[in-house]
Structure 1
Amino acid sequence: MEKFMWLVALVNSFIFCNAMLELTGTHDTEGTWKSSITLPCVYEPSQDFVQQTVIWTLVRDQSPATVFRRDSSGDHILLSRYRGRVSVPKYRPGDVSLEIEKLEVTDSGHYTCKVTWRGQNNSLLMRERTTTVKVVKVSVTKPIIRAGNLGFTVPKGARTSLTCSANGSPPITYRWFKGEPGGNTVLVSNHAVLMFDSLQTSDTGKYYCEAENRASSQVMQQSDAVQLTVRDLTKPATTVPSSENKANTTAKPVSERGPRRTGLPLYLIILIVVICVAVVFVIVTVILCRRKIKEGEWGVQNTRNDTRRQTCSGVNGKWKYEEGKPTVENNFMTQPVKENEYETISIKENIECKILVNAMESEYEVGDVQ
């Protein structure tokens, strides 16, 4: 009975260990030529079993060959054409996947992952899993043109570049042309990057690129044409970018950036204000002085008119006309007057004096009657 129980426990542990140490991965996978690929081979680690060896073999044209081996002495790459291109993770317990870089067409085949464990009773357990790999060449996609930091509108004499980028199996060859596709074009470069060390106005024009690789289809892909505009800063900008390039243009002409703002320094503004205030003050002072001078002249003239007046006085009951003497002496010589003219002037003055006396007497009489 005890032997039967021990046998049942041994079978159960064996079944449990087999379930834990089962390798998982993929049966078929496809890799791109000149790219990288990972062939998965993973298991669940167990404390009762210790990994002893990991071996990856390749079967191609019915001839097996060991690609990679890991044991107590370390990792070993046994096929020279895989050296520097294959590896297996070291610090991920339970992961013994094979990583292949820079795939070649000859890497196609059946890869088998073999793992051996040692149990606590020194028994060995081995598992293996096979994955079929097919390496294919991918044709290039339609290339895209990217401008440098200055964009597609750049000043004369500047340094810039245009980059042609496409996806596909390397190596990819590029060619640059100046002109419209299908029209008169000129080959300008055989590199992915088209460099301009010192742009000239003659570099203005349409540019496009072509991309091609060694895929089985051998299809050459062509990009859309872009407009490169070189501005001469000494002349006004007259070139207007086309609608297809407006989205890619990062550098704008000076005329599109808006008017330049100019301003005077603060100290010049203050000086101008002070000068204006001083000029206004001087003008007002001159006007006031001229008004005072005119008022003084009018006062002197009125005083002269008041001092020269005529008076009439009565002597022996008769009124006599006397001419008042002016208070201001005249510094001019009077013209000689004839005797008759003097008599005529005296008669006129006596008549005016008599009229004035009569008017005054009538006023007195009216006052007495009242």
Structure 2
Amino acid sequence: MLGGTEKLVGIAVLVNSFVFCYAILDLNGTHEMDGTWKSSATLQCIYMPSENFQQQTVVWTMERDNTPVTVFRRDDSGDHILLLRYRDRVRVPKFPPGDVSLQIEKLEIPDSGHYTCKVTWRTQNDSLITKEMTTTMRVVKVVVSKPIIIPGQLGLTVPERARASLTCSARGSPPISYQWFKGGPGGSTVHLSNQAELVFDPLQNSDAGQYYCQAENRAGSFGSQQSDVVQLTVRETTTTVLGTEATVHTTTTPIFERDLSTTVDSGNDVERKILTGDLGAQRTGLPLYLIIPIAVLCAIVLVSVIAVILCRRKNKNDHLYDVTYRNCIQSQRRETCSRESGGCLYEEVHFSVENNYVTDPVEKTDFEKLSRRKSAEYETLIC
């Protein structure tokens, strides 16, 4: 009796484990969906990953007119797209784990059909478990909806000379074409652009007015859809000059870049002086942080030039004194050689260079004494 009870408990545990495992590996997604022609679609296939089960293969097949074909396969060798018409249009994400949904871009009408997601796992005891789920997708052409106008960051009331934009947005099967018009319904209108976004850069006073857009696609025969009319307002900025009663209407650009003669009363001399004279001086003068380095640099250059001139003059005087002294020595040697009858007698003459300057004039008697000295001594003194 006890043995039978243990068997029942073991069977119950196995059944619960089997049911729990299959609950974890359930594939979740949408069983029916509509895809928009020329747009993208995602066929969901999601399960809860577990450490006890290792994913082996993921296969997506498509069945139309009772003919199943393999669209995508993932295994140990990588991802494979087997049909040429799905190349560059189909992919299955790898992250997050457990998400093996099929993503199809640029849907065509033949893409309608039954898509089956089949996933195979390997258990710890080396057995295989396979689960699958089918989604039916219909690719339809969606007629363009009524477009809406989305203003830019500054809204519909924008300062003059700022950047403004209006965007026309509609739903439907792509491609969707857009047209922009200025004017109200029932009145005169002007065609402006064939783009989804209408840009004003910069915004002028003449751009103020009513605008609307039209959207159209190739689905159905309903023609184009027209948006509601919006009013774009251009706001002027004002700048008041202190000390005067005049108010100058200007833009966001600096005042010295505008023609001041057209914005200021010609009879007001004080205001003209403030706006044209002072501002012009501020625009052309050099800042103080540039004037100081320039002045210091000029002073350094001037001092350097003066120092070079003085050094060159001093060196020149030193060379003149040295040449005169050496010429004197050579002259003495030549005279000694001429006085010898048998040949030249070279004798080294040593001079003691001393500065014996006398500020008092030399008397005549002293000069006569000197003139009566020997010829050699006289020539030496003259040298």
Instruction: Give the TM-score of the pair, scaled to structure 2.
Output: 0.52
Matched, 1:50 2:33: no
Alignment of 1:251-290 (within 5 A): 251-254=234-237, 257=238, 260-263=240-243
Q: Answer whether contact 1:139 1:219 (CA < 8 A) is retained.
A: no
Query: CA 1:209–1:114 in structure 2 vs 1: closer, same or farther (change >3 Å)?
Result: same
Q: How many residues align?
A: 240
Q: Which residue does the alignment assign to 1:68?
A: 72
Any idea what the Cα deviations from partners look like across 1:295-334, whole Å, max 9, x if unmatched? xxxxxxxxxxxxxxxxxxxxxxxxxxxxxxxxxxxxxxxx
Q: Which residue does the alignment assign to 1:191?
A: 195
Structure 1 position 58, deviation (Å): 0.8
Alignment of 1:165-176 (within 5 A): 165-176=169-180
Q: Which runs of 5+ in 2 are unaligned?
A: 245-383
SS, match of residue 235 in structure 2: coil
SS, match of residue 85 in structure 2: helix
User: For the residues of structure 2 that align with 1:146 and 1:12, how far apart are their CA atoms?
Assistant: 57
> In the alignment, residue 253 of structure 1 is paired with which amino acid?
E
SS, match of residue 116 in structure 1: strand
Indicate which of 127, 133, 144 corresponds to 2:131: 127
Instruction: Give the TM-score of the pair, scaled to structure 1.
Output: 0.54
Q: Which runs of 5+ in 1 are unaligned?
A: 227-244, 265-370
User: For the residues of structure 1 that align with 2:179 and 2:32, how far apart are their CA atoms?
Assistant: 37
Query: CA 1:110–1:185 in structure 2 vs 1: closer, same or farther (change >3 Å)?
Result: same
Identity of aligned residues (%): 62
User: For the residues of structure 2 that align with 1:91 and 1:201, how far apart are their CA atoms?
Assistant: 53
Q: Answer whether contact 1:179 1:206 (CA < 8 A) is retained.
A: yes
SS, match of residue 21 in structure 2: helix
User: For the residues of structure 2 that align with 1:95 and 1:225, how far apart are their CA atoms?
Assistant: 45
User: For the residues of structure 1 that align with 2:95 and 2:158, how far apart are their CA atoms?
Assistant: 52
Q: Answer whether contact 2:158 2:164 (CA < 8 A) is retained.
A: no
Q: Which residue does the alignment assign to 2:92?
A: 88
Query: CA 1:261–1:89 in structure 2 vs 1: closer, same or farther (change >3 Å)?
Result: same
Alignment of 1:217-366 (within 5 A): 218-226=222-230, 245=231, 249=233, 251-254=234-237, 257=238, 260-263=240-243
SS, match of residue 120 in structure 2: strand
Query: CA 1:48–1:212 in structure 2 vs 1: closer, same or farther (change >3 Å)?
Result: same
> In the alignment, residue 145 of structure 1 is paired with which amino acid?
I
Structure 1 position 69, deviation (Å): 0.7
SS, match of residue 19 in structure 1: helix
Q: Which residue does the alignment assign to 1:352?
A: none
User: For the residues of structure 2 that align with 1:10 and 1:90, how far apart are their CA atoms?
Assistant: 32
SS, match of residue 103 in structure 1: coil
SS, match of residue 42 in structure 1: coil
